[in-house]
Amino acid sequence: VIDSGNNRLGDIPVTFDVVRGGGSLDGATSTTVEPDSDGRALAILTLGPGEGFDNNAVQASFAGNLGVPATFVASAQTAGDPADTSVSGVVLDNADLPVPGVSLSILDTALT
| DSSP code per residue over 84-101 | G-------B-TTS-BPTT
User: Is 89 domain-assigned?
Assistant: yes
- The pTM (predicted TM-score) of the whole model is 0.71
User: Is 97 domain-assigned?
Assistant: yes
CATH of the domain at 73: 2.60.40
Number of structural domains (the chain) is 1
In angstroms, the CA 34 to CA 56 distance is 23
Domain that holds residue 72: 1-107
Q: Per residue in 3-12, pLDDT tens?
A: 888 888 888 9
User: Is 34 domain-assigned?
Assistant: yes
Q: Per residue in 50-98, pLDDT tens?
A: 888 889 999 999 998 888 999 999 998 877 887 787 777 788 888 889 9
